Amino acid sequence: MPRALPSDPQPGVAERPLRNRVAPTGELVSTPARGTMYGVRGGRFHDPATQTVRGRPWATKQWICCTLSFKNRRNIVWGRFYTALFFCDEATAFAAGHRPCFECRRADAKAFAEAVMRHDNLARPPKAPEMDERLHAERLIGREKRAHKIASRMLPDGAMILVDGAPHALKAGRLLRWSFEGYSATTLALPDIPQTLTPPTILGALRAGYAPRWHDSAA
Protein backbone atom coordinates (compact mmCIF):
# COMPACT_ATOMS: atom_id res chain seq x y z
CA MET A 1 0.00 0.00 0.00
CA PRO A 2 1.37 3.51 -0.79
CA ARG A 3 2.53 5.38 2.25
CA ALA A 4 2.92 9.07 3.03
CA LEU A 5 3.89 11.38 5.85
CA PRO A 6 1.54 14.05 7.30
CA SER A 7 3.81 16.83 6.04
CA ASP A 8 3.72 15.86 2.36
CA PRO A 9 2.74 18.84 0.17
CA GLN A 10 -0.61 19.05 -1.59
CA PRO A 11 -0.04 20.09 -5.23
CA GLY A 12 -2.09 23.10 -6.27
CA VAL A 13 -3.58 23.58 -2.82
CA ALA A 14 -2.55 26.20 -0.27
CA GLU A 15 -0.65 24.71 2.64
CA ARG A 16 -3.09 23.95 5.44
CA PRO A 17 -3.86 20.98 7.67
CA LEU A 18 -6.12 18.55 5.87
CA ARG A 19 -9.14 17.05 7.59
CA ASN A 20 -7.32 13.77 8.03
CA ARG A 21 -6.45 13.47 11.74
CA VAL A 22 -8.69 10.89 13.42
CA ALA A 23 -10.25 11.43 16.86
CA PRO A 24 -11.17 8.49 19.14
CA THR A 25 -14.78 9.16 18.14
CA GLY A 26 -13.86 8.42 14.53
CA GLU A 27 -14.35 12.06 13.56
CA LEU A 28 -11.93 13.52 11.01
CA VAL A 29 -10.43 16.84 12.10
CA SER A 30 -8.12 19.45 10.59
CA THR A 31 -5.28 20.12 13.04
CA PRO A 32 -1.51 20.72 12.74
CA ALA A 33 -0.84 18.00 15.34
CA ARG A 34 1.29 15.22 13.85
CA GLY A 35 0.21 11.61 14.14
CA THR A 36 2.46 8.64 14.94
CA MET A 37 0.48 6.14 12.85
CA TYR A 38 -1.12 6.06 9.41
CA GLY A 39 -4.37 4.46 8.27
CA VAL A 40 -7.06 4.14 5.62
CA ARG A 41 -10.73 3.26 5.41
CA GLY A 42 -10.70 1.02 2.37
CA GLY A 43 -9.78 3.46 -0.38
CA ARG A 44 -10.55 7.03 -1.45
CA PHE A 45 -13.48 9.05 -0.16
CA HIS A 46 -12.07 12.55 -0.70
CA ASP A 47 -12.14 14.84 -3.73
CA PRO A 48 -8.51 15.34 -4.85
CA ALA A 49 -9.36 18.64 -6.56
CA THR A 50 -10.93 20.31 -3.52
CA GLN A 51 -9.15 18.25 -0.81
CA THR A 52 -12.48 17.70 0.95
CA VAL A 53 -14.41 14.65 2.14
CA ARG A 54 -17.17 13.48 -0.19
CA GLY A 55 -20.19 11.96 1.54
CA ARG A 56 -19.56 9.34 4.21
CA PRO A 57 -16.04 9.29 5.73
CA TRP A 58 -15.05 5.80 4.57
CA ALA A 59 -14.83 3.84 1.31
CA THR A 60 -15.25 0.24 2.52
CA LYS A 61 -15.39 -1.69 5.80
CA GLN A 62 -11.61 -2.22 5.69
CA TRP A 63 -10.52 0.27 8.34
CA ILE A 64 -6.85 -0.36 9.12
CA CYS A 65 -4.00 1.15 11.12
CA CYS A 66 -0.55 1.19 9.51
CA THR A 67 2.99 2.40 10.07
CA LEU A 68 4.07 5.81 8.77
CA SER A 69 6.60 4.23 6.40
CA PHE A 70 6.83 0.89 4.60
CA LYS A 71 9.36 -0.27 1.96
CA ASN A 72 10.06 3.35 0.96
CA ARG A 73 6.67 3.62 -0.74
CA ARG A 74 5.35 7.14 -1.26
CA ASN A 75 2.13 8.73 -2.40
CA ILE A 76 0.66 12.20 -2.26
CA VAL A 77 -1.58 12.62 0.77
CA TRP A 78 -5.14 12.98 -0.54
CA GLY A 79 -4.05 12.44 -4.09
CA ARG A 80 -5.67 10.07 -6.61
CA PHE A 81 -5.52 6.94 -4.48
CA TYR A 82 -6.11 6.31 -0.78
CA THR A 83 -7.56 8.87 1.61
CA ALA A 84 -4.62 8.95 4.01
CA LEU A 85 -5.51 9.30 7.69
CA PHE A 86 -3.31 9.82 10.75
CA PHE A 87 -3.69 8.82 14.40
CA CYS A 88 -2.08 10.03 17.60
CA ASP A 89 -1.33 6.35 18.36
CA GLU A 90 -2.79 2.86 18.08
CA ALA A 91 -5.07 3.28 21.11
CA THR A 92 -6.67 6.17 19.22
CA ALA A 93 -7.02 4.08 16.06
CA PHE A 94 -8.57 1.26 18.07
CA ALA A 95 -11.12 3.61 19.64
CA ALA A 96 -12.14 4.78 16.17
CA GLY A 97 -12.52 1.13 15.09
CA HIS A 98 -9.38 0.46 13.04
CA ARG A 99 -7.44 -2.84 13.23
CA PRO A 100 -3.74 -3.54 12.46
CA CYS A 101 -2.79 -3.84 8.78
CA PHE A 102 -1.82 -7.32 7.53
CA GLU A 103 0.62 -5.89 4.96
CA CYS A 104 2.84 -3.33 6.67
CA ARG A 105 2.23 -4.66 10.23
CA ARG A 106 1.85 -8.37 9.59
CA ALA A 107 3.27 -9.53 12.94
CA ASP A 108 0.99 -7.14 14.86
CA ALA A 109 -2.02 -8.11 12.74
CA LYS A 110 -1.43 -11.82 13.34
CA ALA A 111 -0.98 -11.22 17.08
CA PHE A 112 -4.21 -9.20 17.12
CA ALA A 113 -6.20 -11.93 15.30
CA GLU A 114 -4.78 -14.57 17.63
CA ALA A 115 -5.79 -12.49 20.64
CA VAL A 116 -9.34 -12.23 19.27
CA MET A 117 -9.32 -16.01 18.81
CA ARG A 118 -8.20 -16.62 22.42
CA HIS A 119 -10.70 -14.21 23.90
CA ASP A 120 -13.65 -15.54 21.88
CA ASN A 121 -12.61 -19.23 22.08
CA LEU A 122 -12.56 -19.55 18.30
CA ALA A 123 -11.16 -22.57 16.46
CA ARG A 124 -8.84 -20.37 14.38
CA PRO A 125 -7.81 -16.72 14.16
CA PRO A 126 -10.45 -14.70 12.28
CA LYS A 127 -9.53 -13.55 8.79
CA ALA A 128 -9.33 -9.85 7.96
CA PRO A 129 -12.73 -9.65 6.18
CA GLU A 130 -14.39 -11.41 9.14
CA MET A 131 -12.94 -8.87 11.57
CA ASP A 132 -13.91 -6.01 9.29
CA GLU A 133 -17.55 -7.15 9.28
CA ARG A 134 -17.61 -7.42 13.08
CA LEU A 135 -15.87 -4.11 13.65
CA HIS A 136 -18.06 -2.19 11.23
CA ALA A 137 -21.17 -3.22 13.15
CA GLU A 138 -19.51 -2.35 16.47
CA ARG A 139 -18.08 1.05 15.56
CA LEU A 140 -21.08 2.66 13.85
CA ILE A 141 -24.82 3.18 14.01
CA GLY A 142 -25.55 4.32 10.49
CA ARG A 143 -22.93 7.02 10.02
CA GLU A 144 -22.65 7.84 13.73
CA LYS A 145 -20.12 6.52 16.23
CA ARG A 146 -21.42 3.69 18.38
CA ALA A 147 -20.56 3.89 22.09
CA HIS A 148 -20.84 0.83 24.32
CA LYS A 149 -21.85 0.82 27.98
CA ILE A 150 -19.37 -1.51 29.69
CA ALA A 151 -18.55 -1.74 33.39
CA SER A 152 -15.20 -0.09 34.10
CA ARG A 153 -13.91 -3.20 35.92
CA MET A 154 -14.17 -5.04 32.57
CA LEU A 155 -12.10 -2.51 30.63
CA PRO A 156 -8.48 -3.38 29.76
CA ASP A 157 -5.50 -1.11 29.25
CA GLY A 158 -5.85 0.66 25.92
CA ALA A 159 -9.60 1.14 26.19
CA MET A 160 -10.85 4.63 25.36
CA ILE A 161 -13.89 6.09 27.10
CA LEU A 162 -15.76 9.37 27.37
CA VAL A 163 -15.57 11.20 30.71
CA ASP A 164 -17.39 14.53 30.92
CA GLY A 165 -17.74 14.33 27.15
CA ALA A 166 -13.99 14.11 26.48
CA PRO A 167 -11.96 11.06 25.38
CA HIS A 168 -9.80 9.41 28.04
CA ALA A 169 -7.63 6.30 27.85
CA LEU A 170 -7.04 3.64 30.48
CA LYS A 171 -3.41 2.75 31.13
CA ALA A 172 -1.94 0.95 34.13
CA GLY A 173 -5.11 1.50 36.12
CA ARG A 174 -5.24 5.25 35.60
CA LEU A 175 -7.08 7.65 33.35
CA LEU A 176 -5.22 9.75 30.79
CA ARG A 177 -6.89 12.66 29.02
CA TRP A 178 -6.51 12.32 25.25
CA SER A 179 -5.72 15.08 22.74
CA PHE A 180 -4.39 15.15 19.19
CA GLU A 181 -0.99 16.12 20.66
CA GLY A 182 -0.91 13.23 23.15
CA TYR A 183 -1.99 12.48 26.72
CA SER A 184 -2.05 14.35 30.00
CA ALA A 185 -2.84 13.47 33.59
CA THR A 186 -6.32 14.03 35.00
CA THR A 187 -7.93 13.95 38.42
CA LEU A 188 -11.29 12.81 37.05
CA ALA A 189 -12.69 9.60 38.51
CA LEU A 190 -13.39 6.57 36.37
CA PRO A 191 -17.17 6.15 35.99
CA ASP A 192 -18.67 2.81 36.97
CA ILE A 193 -20.25 2.29 33.55
CA PRO A 194 -18.67 4.73 31.09
CA GLN A 195 -19.45 5.24 27.44
CA THR A 196 -16.76 3.14 25.81
CA LEU A 197 -15.53 4.15 22.35
CA THR A 198 -13.29 1.12 21.69
CA PRO A 199 -15.34 -1.64 19.98
CA PRO A 200 -15.93 -4.90 21.91
CA THR A 201 -13.89 -7.05 19.50
CA ILE A 202 -10.86 -4.84 20.08
CA LEU A 203 -11.47 -4.81 23.84
CA GLY A 204 -11.40 -8.60 23.69
CA ALA A 205 -8.03 -8.58 21.94
CA LEU A 206 -6.67 -6.18 24.58
CA ARG A 207 -7.96 -8.40 27.40
CA ALA A 208 -6.30 -11.40 25.75
CA GLY A 209 -2.90 -9.71 25.80
CA TYR A 210 -2.55 -7.60 22.66
CA ALA A 211 -0.45 -4.53 23.59
CA PRO A 212 -1.23 -1.39 21.56
CA ARG A 213 1.36 1.15 20.47
CA TRP A 214 1.10 4.23 22.69
CA HIS A 215 2.12 7.83 22.11
CA ASP A 216 5.26 8.68 24.10
CA SER A 217 3.28 11.06 26.31
CA ALA A 218 1.32 8.11 27.76
CA ALA A 219 4.45 7.08 29.67
Pick from 78, 95, 112: which residue ends a domain? 95
How many distinct structural domains can be found in the chain?
A: 2
In this prediction, residue 15 carries a pLDDT of 65
> Dihedral angle at the C-alpha atoms of 69, 116, 195, 189, nearest 10 degrees?
-80
Same structural domain for residues 121 and 75?
Answer: no
- Whole-number Cα distances in Å, 42 to 18, 53, 176: 18, 14, 30
In this prediction, residue 1 carries a pLDDT of 47
Decide if pLDDT at 151 tops 70: yes
pLDDT digits (tens, 9 = 90+) for 68-114: 987 777 777 898 888 999 999 999 999 999 999 999 999 999 999 99
Same structural domain for residues 176 and 81?
Answer: no
pTM value? 0.91
Domain region containing 58: 19-95
pLDDT digits (tens, 9 = 90+) for 41-71: 999 999 999 999 989 999 999 999 999 987 7
- Contact (CB, 8 A) for 206 and 158: yes
Task: Name the band, by pLDDT with cuts 50, 70 and 90, for residue 13.
Answer: very low
